[in-house]
Amino acid sequence: MTATAARPGRSEDAPDAPPDGAALPVAGPAATRRAALRLIRRDGRAFALMLALNALAAGAGLAGPWLLGRIVDTVRAGGGVRTVDRLALVILACGLAQLLLARYARYVGHRFGERTVARVREQYVDRALALPAAVVERAGTGDLTARGTTDVTSVARTLRDAVPEVCVAAAQALFLLGAVVVLDPLLGLCGLGVLSGVFVVRWYLRRAHGAYLAEGAATSALAELLAATAAGARTVEALGLQERRTAASEEAVERCRRTRTRTLFLRSVLLPAVDVAYVLPVAGVLLAGGALHGRSGISLGVVIAAALYLRQLSDPLATILFWAEQLQSSGAAFARVEGLGQAPQAPRTSPAPLVPRPSPEASPAPATPVDDRIDVTAVHYAYGDGGRSPAAHRDVLHGVDLTVRPGERLALVGPSGAGKSTLGRLLAGIDAPRRGSVTVGRVPIAALDPAVLRRQVVLVTQEHHVFLGTLRDNLQIAAPDAEDAALYAALAAVGADWAAELPAGLDTELGAGGHRPDGSQSQQLALARVVLADPHTVILDEATALLDPRTARHTERALAAVLKGRTVIAIAHRLHTAHDADRVAVMEEGRLTELGSHDELVAARGAYATLWHSWHSQGPS
């Protein structure tokens, strides 16, 4: 699974640039090799046993051709049948020993592969869950899904099947070549002609790694496009975008076809060239051996044994070539899987598996907020590069200053595109400001460990996900130890009366084959999770947008009662939310232009008063 040599002028430690603008990095060759060695060291005893068994099996396989040569020489010398029978029995015993050793070696190798790939999967999930939300959003679900499914499966197949097979084949090839050299050095030189195939293999390896990386990136892009089209099928149909999406899909399919054609071309050059490389030495040994035997240089048995050894060499070489594509493909796949570890990670209280534990000096304990106060100080933010690129992207927030007091209900209002949702993401720690700071209890929110952050601040938007499983499973995500009474209380708090009517109650399966929650029910589930999570600050960004106005008003009042005493920041689109808030912050073009109570801002006759009178005159529900 190791990568090929580094390109000139480039450090092997440096990650490969993500192809086609992908947001997630790809591990460089040196990092991939180190990761592979770490995996081997984790189960080093099994790996060493696998190598030893393979060597013993290869050694047992050497006896057959040599003994056959002895039989030929014995017959030519007039030896008896008893000697031939005895040698034949030894050949049978060695063949049986080789079979048993090879099978046990494969058994040990498969167990090693399954344990190791389990560690790869666990590490991938751990790293994926540690990614900041902003990184996940930029990467898209297609790339993450392709790495976690197609790439991990490719690595699994290599560890389970390719590694044991290649180890057996490599041991056999080395032992066979060594046996020919021991029989006769001159015939051994003819046999070494098989190494001419190394030049073709080297040509292949120099090109294959990049070609398979490009193929993996094209597959990820296609998966992302198809997933987005399927998820937005109704929107595509409503806006008449079928032809545009079809054209984009055909273009992505064509990119996949080109990348796969490239890897097919590399294989079409490699396989025939190597076939010739290991057939010619057999002919060379027979010709040279015939000439030497005619001059009484070597016995006929030695020539036959050498020819059989080289003929046997075709099987392990064919095995290695058969898995060469898988090894290169899985090497590229492992580089993509390992690259997830080089993506920006959220702070952690414990390291991911397979990652060395940092020393206390290198990783100080994360700070703990001293209180629940949130301070926004001179914040500037620009989309792109995580909001940290000062030049390439225009700021969407400009010097925002705001203090949210513990237990306060604050409404963020303003026209569409004013920066309300962006500020909400900064307050929730999803993004970090380009300049300035957002702190909770004097600690930067974006620097908090995710587990600590979600006990401090929770953002609820109109985008919600219902996980496969029961209603209880979906609720206990927020509070794993919550009892049924607490779960029902949380549902009641958000007006989810429908839950009591489900046939199996909390044990009702949600999704395909069970109850399918509609948009408003999914939103109520998300709000119930907030009640169970019990954070001190809740940010509501269109959290009731999918509910009808009457239900939304009822839910908001119920939530207000449940969240009493906690800080609530509501990004208000229905201005009755602002009317009920302690203070209202008005955003315009990325700036905080007004701050005060509803009555104060209406009396000031500024932007908020205009919004309020415009909305109120339309007859709010």
In sequence order, what DSSP letters do the residues of 278-344 get, joined into one string? Answer: HHHHHHHHHHHHHHHHHTTSS-HHHHHHHHHHHHHHHHHHHHHHHHHHHHHHHHHHHHHHHHGGGS-
Q: How high does pLDDT run on average in the chain?
A: 77
Over the Cα atoms of the chain, what is R_g? 34
Distance, CA of 502 to chain centre? 36
Given a cut of 50, is residue 22 above it in pLDDT?
no
Q: How far apart are CA 179 and CA 310, in angstroms?
A: 10
Confidence class for position 401, pLDDT limits 50, 70, 90? very high
Distance, CA of 337 to chain centre? 5
Mean pLDDT for 316-322 is 74
Residue 402: what pLDDT?
92
435: phi then psi, degrees, rounded to nearest 5? -140, 155
Q: Which of 109-113, 378-382, 513-517, 573-577 has the lowest mean pLDDT?
A: 573-577
Which residue did the predictor score with more confidence, 394 or 555? 394
- The pTM score is 0.57
Q: How far apart are CA 118 and CA 159, in angstroms?
A: 11
What percent of the chain clears pLDDT 90, i.e. is strictly above it?
4
Q: Which of 588, 471, 486 has its CA nearest to residue 533?
A: 486
Q: Which of 33, 335, 330, 321 has its CA nearest to residue 154?
A: 330
Q: Which of 53, 49, 165 has its CA nearest to residue 100?
A: 53
Residue 583: what pLDDT?
92
Given a cut of 70, is residue 559 above it in pLDDT?
no
Confidence class for position 325, pLDDT limits 50, 70, 90? low
Q: How far apart are CA 603 and CA 597, in angstroms?
A: 10
Residue 194: what pLDDT?
58
